[in-house]
Structure 1
Amino acid sequence: MNDKRQFAALPFEKMQRSVGVGNMQLLSSSAILLDAVARAGSFRRAAEALNMSASAINRQILNMEAEIGLPLLERLPRGVRPTPVGERLLADIRRWRREQTLAEGQLRELTGQRRGAVSIGATECFSTAVLPDVIRSLWQYPFRAGGIDPVRLDRRAHTQTRRQGA
């Protein structure tokens, strides 16, 4: 199952960084290379896109196959095709890369922003005359993308306050 349309022509170093958090690499370079070769359909095309030698990529994948004890790629006269074992492993590698991308986004969110809830209590005239404009102006700030939820008026709190004051 070669999907050459999705093969990204990224330098190898950038591909490595794209699956790690900070300096931590969560997928092996061999796994990244296996995915790149399978998407490209050949060692040569993957090597050109990654700015590496085809023999270096082939050596890494041969080492991976030796470690696993099974062939991952079928070497053909005009390219490569994943074996059934290779297909299974590639499905996992691609899923792990997607999950890693999600995790990286969540970690960036946590390290760059504080999240929480803010409750604002106001009298009825203030909550209808002034507060809507204040809240609308807050929506213009960049932290809106960080997860500000639309404001919901809590009528129960308003009613309780009126009863206590009456």
Structure 2
Amino acid sequence: MVEQSPDAAPLPPADEAVPPAMIKADLAAGLFFVVLAAATLFGSWTMDRLEARRINPLTAPGLVPGLLSAALLVCGVILTLRSLRTPAPEGWRDLGRAIVSSGAQRAGAVLVLTLIYSLVLVGLLPFWLATGVFVFAFVLVFEAWLAAPRQPLLRTLPWAFGLAVVTAAVVTLVFERLFLVRLP
């Protein structure tokens, strides 16, 4: 327990300092982690254990994902129970306002662009081209669309194109020549 000097102001309880929106966000995140961990735990449990090949059970392919998902399940349950136990009047309304804020839009744009890059572009296009397209789109979105003072599109296009070409070339050369990684 932390001791305070007698002339210091008393510390508020930890739960009072948490905004109601954060409590509801913790509830949603906790439930998400519980579902994700349960699905991963099930998948790792049903994964082939390779007994027919006399593989040591401690080297089974599902062991590490199973342990990690079990830990994530425990953390998700703790987060969910903690947020259910803490009162949060008007927490859902505050969380809704936070989700539609400009900061959340920027984070959502990063998530969407990254998922498109990793799940669609890489593998469909050569790596250097996928990386260039990603960087080009990223610069356009954050300079000409989501920037606080928006930049003119015609001024952003050459900058985005140049940055995309240089980034794609440097990343590809560094991975292929320096790290000797064969890129998709």
Question: Where is the strand percentage greater, Structure 1 or Structure 2?
Answer: 1
Question: Where is the helix percentage greater, Structure 1 or Structure 2?
Answer: 2
| TM-score (ref. length: structure 2) | 0.24
| TM-score (ref. length: structure 1) | 0.26
